[in-house]
Chains A and B, each alone.
Chain A
Amino acid sequence: MVQNIIDVKNLSKSFDISSKEPGLKGTIKHFFRRQTKSLKVIKDISFEIKEGEIVGFLGANGAGKTTILKMLCGLIYPSEGSILVSGYLPFRRKENFLKNITLIMGQKQQLIWDLPPIESFYLNASIYDLDKFEAKKRIKKLSEMLEIDEELYIPVRKLSLGQRMKSELLAALIHEPNILFLDEPTLGLDINAQRNLRKFLQKYNKETNATICLTSHYMKDITSLCKRVICVHQGAISYDGKLDLLLKKLSPVKEILIVCRSEDDAIKLGNSGFTVKNKIKNEITIKIENKSITSSLKTILNNFDILDLFINEPPIDEIIGKVLIKKDYDI
């Protein structure tokens, strides 16, 4: 049986936020009497993650996804509740725990800006107590996987965003962590770089059985990497389960564009009990429930003179977008 590697129970986090009214009056008032209020950004959440799982955290901006990752990796202290990651309390930041994890933030970098990435890699290797031989071996292996062999000796400031991101990934993985916390790792990358990064993460997960917790606003990252998603809405979990189940439940119908031989056929089809989305001349778009799609298509093909038909899957971004603005999904 696969063990839980992350165990979160009734976790909450509050921040003290100070607010200021606009204008000079507000500024003076703020100077003498600062008004702060406690804002609960994570509200009593609980979940478990098994070893080797890739879990996507979904949510709108400010929903609390990154705060959850920061607490899981021990960067910030939880206000209430408990977290156990690989048997450790993350915030204590014990050496053995830190050697087991990594955090990659798409918009932050740890590489030394004016030096080639190889210098940062050897520095990280020594921080994680790797000897030079082992470090060299891992740098070679990871740079081949990430296809950045030639960029290792070029100053970071001269690398493209994609090359920098790959180098960041190598720096963060040199100690071969078991748990990866990735906060928007493909942010700002072009389509090819995004695809390569996703391929790399899949390979890394397959080869090392590493657990990956991922946040991303690019749905492709989530759909190609994660079987399970945790949707966060205003600091609370609105859905925790399989991604395909969520998609099926949220999108129970398919849209079918049918090209009829004549406009009369299209009119007849529109009047035969199907839900019509739109009709332009001899082209008609109807909605059919997923469960009855085969029988409905059979009926249409047998009874109408059809030239062509196209089945449209609704865009996944649209479906997930619905989750991000709803409080609860009872699935």
Chain B
Amino acid sequence: MISNLINSKIFTLLKVQYSNMLEYRVEIALWAISGIIPFFMLNIWTNNNLNESINISDVMLSRYFLCAFFVRQFSVVWVVFSFEEDSLLGKVSPYLIQPLNPFFRYFAQHLAEQITRFPFALIIAFFFFIFNPESIWIPNLSLLLLSIVSTFLSFLIQFLIQSIVACLCFWTEKASSIERLLFIPTLFLSGLLAPVVSFPAYVKSWIYLTPFPYLIDFPANLLSGNETNISGGLSMQILWIFILFPLFKKIWSEGTKKYTAMGS
């Protein structure tokens, strides 16, 4: 049954959403460019020789931030904003009475957008290597595959976190403000601004218990070839998915009882 679902519904959803995304080529190119925060951070780190304090070479640091850029490109999630808008305007109503959870639509939308982003991300990486030729490397195939899996798991964690927050729309109507609160720890603890290894030891031990370092830091370290605990990182990612998924299901089931179909 699951394979049937993947074969037909999800695949068709993905195809349709991909066609839809292709209607927004320019926007997607701009979104890809807007994700270059890691390159600014790289500049700040190298210009101030901050990497010396954490024993990471310039080359490894630039690879880390390039990988952080890539991971971010393929794990960025905005479901809370889409769902909030659809919920407030009553657009979610027709989807609720179809035999497919509406979140599959958002999920397919995100995947389709990632596929559309991919060529633009490659172009940005190409320019990155022109300016940083010393950073060019060919990742080990097994690490590359693991980092793809890890990036997808990171996307799943973020999608589940935001979907849980999105479901709060059933109670608060403005769930995106809660997401903005979550954005702060995501920004600082995920490894987008600084590798988690740069934090003091006692802070790190706490950070690794949260889902945040597994969103960017872990997959980026994996892809860039930096030293990291592969089995530990992957296990934590899977663990967080196992925690978040039932939580999402519960909050969804309770939330839909509160749905008032506003605006329709």
State the A residues within 8 Å of B (CB): 15, 66, 70, 73-77, 91, 93, 95, 98-99, 101-103, 105, 107-110, 112, 114-115, 119-120, 122-124, 126-129, 172, 183
Contact = CB atoms under 8 A, between A and B. Distances in A.
B23 A75 contact: no
B47 interface: no
Interface stretch (B34-42, B89-97, B216-224, B229-237): B89-97
A105 B12 contact: no
A114 B261 contact: no
Contacts of B261: 70, 75-76
Given A98-B99, A112-B20, A107 B8 contact: no
A176 to B, nearest CB: 14
A115 B93 contact: no
Interface string B63-94: 00000000000000000000000000011011
Contacts, number: 78
Given A105-B264, A108-B90, A115-B23, A77 B97 contact: no
Contacts of B9: 126-127
Contacts of B96: 75, 93
Interface in B53-68: none
B259 interface: yes
A120 B13 CA distance: 9
Contact of B19 (A103, A115, A129): A115
A126 B260 CA distance: 28
Contact of A105 (B93, B98, B260): B93
Contact of A75 (B19, B91, B259): B259
Contacts of B20: 112, 114-115, 119
A71 B20 CA distance: 32
Residue in B94, B95, B258 whose Cβ sees the most chain A Cβ within 10 Å: B94
B91 A108 contact: yes
B260 A103 contact: no
Given A70-B261, A114-B20, A127 B97 contact: no
A119 B17 CA distance: 10
Contacts of A119: 16, 19-20
A95 B264 contact: no
Given A108-B94, A119-B19, A123-B12, A76 B260 contact: yes
Interface residues of B, number: 26
Interface string B1-43: 0000000110011001001100110000000000000000000
**4 closest Cβ contacts across the A-B interface?**
A126-B12, A110-B94, A114-B23, A98-B99
Given A76-B259, A107-B264, A127-B12, 20 more contacts: A15-B260, A70-B261, A74-B97, A75-B259, A77-B256, A93-B96, A101-B97, A110-B94, A110-B95, A112-B20, A115-B19, A119-B19, A122-B12, A124-B98, A126-B13, A127-B100, A128-B98, A129-B8, A129-B99, A172-B94
Nearest to A111: B94
Interface in B242-264: 256-261, 264
A110 B16 CA distance: 14
A119 B91 CA distance: 18
A114 B13 CA distance: 15
Contact of A99 (B16, B23, B95, B99): B99
Contacts of B99: 95, 98-99, 127-129
Residue in A102, A107, A119 whose Cβ sees the most chain B Cβ within 10 Å: A119
25 contacts: A15-B260, A73-B97, A77-B257, A93-B96, A103-B94, A105-B90, A105-B93, A105-B264, A108-B91, A110-B94, A112-B20, A114-B23, A115-B19, A115-B20, A120-B16, A123-B12, A123-B13, A126-B9, A126-B13, A127-B9, A127-B99, A128-B98, A128-B99, A129-B8, A183-B264
Contacts of B264: 66, 105, 107-108, 183
B235 to A, nearest CB: 34
Nearest to A66: B264
A93 B16 contact: no
